[in-house]
Amino acid sequence: MAVTGRIHSFQSMGAVDGPGLRYVVFFQGCPLRCAFCHNPDTWEMTGGAEYTVEQVLERVLRCRGYLKKGGVTATGGEPLAQGEFVEELFRQLRREGIHTALDTSGAVPLDRAERVLEQTDLVLADLKFTTEEEYRRYTGGSLSHTLEFLELCRKKGIPLWIRHVVIPGLTDTEENIQKLGKLLEPYPNVERVELLPFRTLCLEKYRTLGIPFPLEGTPEMDLNRTRELEKLLSSARK
Ligand code: SF4
């Protein structure tokens, strides 16, 4: 039987989710509830629309001309919540010579992740908080799961791009950024670390969905300060 998955949406020319221009597949469904989530409309497993792997592949191949130096990124939601589908999609993309990137929190059972990683060229891992207490409080998941996932990527030698959202009053201290640098020390496969400034563009989505925004009232993160913290992080990692 054909493998099917639930997809929230597609973006045909993504420029920020991996190297080069990318075809981005937003998977529906996420086990976490991050306080700063920009895509609350991807949370429910029942939303989106059903596709077969072949249907998604067909859409991607229509754009293959510009994917030569880029590729396909699976994001969400949480793509690993539909691991079987992503594994099969990535396998077929690789057969076509297309680069595969997985954007994930890593906060999922490892046996599910392992098979997908066999077909993955690059992992974009969101390391959301640097302490177990904050991770649990603001995402509902566990930092230990993400760290176990990073360890699995290290063992498999898969390059990692790490992302961390800088939130005023929560993750914008030098202490937190140094902690992030420390947490990443054991992973020589980390190629880049991006600090993303907290934004409130998603507020309207929360209002439309009737979901309270947990960080309502938190100001947007200053871009210059974010770049300063990025410099601090890169000098701590040298
Ligand atoms: S993992 Fe991503 S999609 Fe899921 S709640 Fe967190 S930010 Fe939103």
The 3-state secondary structure of the chain, one letter per residue: CCCEEEEEEEEEEECCCCCCCEEEEEECCCCCCCCCCCCHHHCCCCCCEEEEHHHHHHHHHCCHHHHCCCEEEEECCCHHHHHHHHHHHHHHHHHCCCCEEEEECCCCCHHHHHHHHCCCCEEEEECCCCCHHHHHHHHCCCHHHHHHHHHHHHHHCCCEEEEEEECCCCCCCHHHHHHHHHHHCCCCCEEEEEEEECCCCCHHHHHHHCCCCCCCCCCCCCHHHHHHHHHHHHHHCC
What is the mean predicted confidence (pLDDT) over 206-214? 95
The predicted-structure confidence for 150-164, as pLDDT tens digits, reads as follows 999 999 999 999 999
Q: How confident is the model at residue 109, as a pLDDT?
A: 84
Work out the pLDDT band at 137, boundaries 50, 70, 90. Answer: very high
Domain contains 232? no
Query: How many angstroms separate the first and last alpha carbons of the chain?
Result: 50
Summary mean pLDDT of the chain: 95
Cα(65) to ligand 1 centroid in Å equals 31
Distance CA(142)–CA(205), nearest Å, equals 26
The CB of 33 under 6 Å from ligand 1? The reply is: yes
Contact 218, 168 (CB under 8 A): yes
Q: What are the distances in angstroms from CA 191 to CA 18, 70, 157, 227?
A: 12, 17, 11, 18
Q: How confident is the model at residue 192, as a pLDDT?
A: 95
The predicted-structure confidence for 139-153, as pLDDT tens digits, reads as follows 999 999 999 999 999
Q: For ligand 1, what atom is nearest to the CA of residue 30?
A: 4
The CB of 39 under 6 Å from ligand 1? The reply is: yes
Contact 149, 202 (CB under 8 A): no
What is the mean predicted confidence (pLDDT) over 53-71? 95
The predicted-structure confidence for 10-35, as pLDDT tens digits, reads as follows 999 898 999 999 999 999 999 999 99
Assign residue 130 the CATH number of its domain.
Answer: 3.20.20.70
Domain contains 54? yes
Domain contains 181? no
The CB of 32 under 6 Å from ligand 1? The reply is: yes
Print the domain residue range for 22.
4-151+159-164+203-212
Q: Please list the residues that pair with 178 across neighbouring strands.
A: none
Work out the pLDDT band at 238, boundaries 50, 70, 90. Answer: confident
**Which residue type does 171 have?**
T
Domain contains 185? no
Work out the pLDDT band at 124, boundaries 50, 70, 90. Answer: very high
| Number of domains into which the chain is organized | 1
What is the mean predicted confidence (pLDDT) over 62-72? 93
Domain contains 190? no
Work out the pLDDT band at 112, boundaries 50, 70, 90. Answer: confident
The more confidently predicted of residues 171 and 69 is 171
Q: How confident is the model at residue 232, as a pLDDT?
A: 94
What is the mean predicted confidence (pLDDT) over 200-213? 94
Whether pLDDT at 111 is above 90: no
Cα(215) to ligand 1 centroid in Å equals 14
Domain contains 177? no
Domain contains 223? no
Domain contains 97? yes
